[in-house]
Structure 1
């Protein structure tokens, strides 16, 4: 699950912008990620034995040459990765549950 990137991405080397890639080819990955059990287990076992640390389950499947399909998700499917993400989640929960009943 993912959605097309909306941020402008930069290629940076030693603090200098070297280029701006076309963001149309970039997607923000989301969860959940779903795979067949066999390839999922093989991908994790291979990564573990090789000391490879992926950024998500998809990267482990890709590493084995697996074909990973993407399904477009909603932008409000918040991915909890960094501390700031939890603040967004808390704000979303407050907004949802603290709404005043319609009169």
Structure 2
């Protein structure tokens, strides 16, 4: 996808919305969405990082399995950076997600 077209941000926003319902969480986990969301936290636009952190938080608050997957994908370092330098909303989501992952 062409980042300039904004499609990546839109796709991550859709995943964030899907992560709020059980069927969406299952689909994201089964279809390889977690690596994409971790990549968006690390390399995405400011808005993409916000949405990706929100989606990962939704996934991890309901599943230890998803927490393990997120950690294996190497999400902690980019989340620490996001918690320090992201937008205010992204900082809050990243901080909350880091707390969930540390349990």
TM-score (norm 2): 0.25
Q: Which has the higher helix share?
A: 2
Q: Which has the higher strand share?
A: 1
Over alpha carbons, which structure has the higher Rg? Answer: 1
